[in-house]
């Protein structure tokens, strides 16, 4: 079965990569769907987020990465995927994901599999990574090197632009 790993990936973290790697071990192939949540302000553009997810999953032969534009269930249908894989950290993730799983099961229909985040990444979020990075903090423990470098370039560029 083909699986979809959806998210904003702004930026992709070790927590995301852990879930993608584990999904690739469970399913025939995985399509990472790099989407846009209208409620969020992004640090990286869709093109940059795609490029960073592609660079950090290049070693996984059954994983591909595509932009998500529109409904996730339509994306799943286009890719012949029967399951969405979601990483779960806290109870609040479960509450939110249950609601989406139920609606996607009807609108799709598509199944949802929730994988518990590995303990080491179980409280990590891109939001926190962006917050620390925006003050010039070191986020290299939480993201691959290529992502840490791009964050540094981006935040230095923003500091210069803001004078
Ligand atoms: O990492 P995020 O921000 O939780 O990812 C959210 C994203 C982009 C995957 C989500 O907003 C999404 O699936 N958007 C596509 C529209 C859709 O199908 N929404 C879910 C139906 S309730």
CATH superfamily of this structure's domain 2-122: HUPs (3.40.50.620)
16 is catalytic: yes
Residues 6+ apart with CB under 8 A from 101: 84, 86, 112, 114
When pLDDT is cut at 50, 70 and 90, the band that residue 155 belongs to is confident
Residue 39 scores a pLDDT above 70: yes
* Residue 108 near ligand 1, beta carbon < 6 Å: no
Q: Specify the higher pLDDT residue, 156 or 79.
A: 79
Nearest CA-CA partner of 18 in 72, 57, 44, 51: 57
**Where exactly are the structural domains of the chain?**
2-122
Tell how far the Cα of 51 is from the centroid of ligand 1, in angstroms: 19
86 is catalytic: no
Nearest CA-CA partner of 84 in 61, 109, 62: 109
- pLDDT for the residue numbered 40: 78
Greatest Cα-to-Cα distance within the chain, rounded to the nearest angstrom: 51
Q: What is the pTM of this model?
A: 0.95
């Amino acid at each position: 079965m083909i699986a979809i790993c959806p998210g904003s990936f702004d930026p992709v973290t070790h927590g995301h990569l852990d879930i993608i790697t584990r999904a690739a071990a469970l399913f025939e192939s995985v399509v990472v769907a790099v989407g846009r949540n209208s409620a969020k302000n992004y640090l990286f553009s869709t093109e940059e987020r795609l490029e960073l997810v592609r660079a950090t999953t290049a070693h996984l032969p059954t994983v591909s990465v595509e932009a998500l534009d529109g409904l996730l269930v339509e994306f799943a249908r286009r890719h012949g995927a029967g399951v969405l894989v979601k990483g779960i950290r806290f109870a609040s993730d479960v509450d939110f994901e249950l609601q989406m799983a139920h609606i996607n099961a009807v609108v799709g229909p598509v199944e949802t599999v929730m994988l518990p985040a590995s303990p080491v990444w179980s409280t990590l979020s891109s939001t926190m990574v962006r917050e620390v990075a925006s003050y010039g903090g070191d986020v290299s423990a939480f993201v691959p090197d290529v992502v840490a470098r791009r964050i540094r370039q981006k935040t230095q560029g923003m500091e210069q632009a803001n004078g």
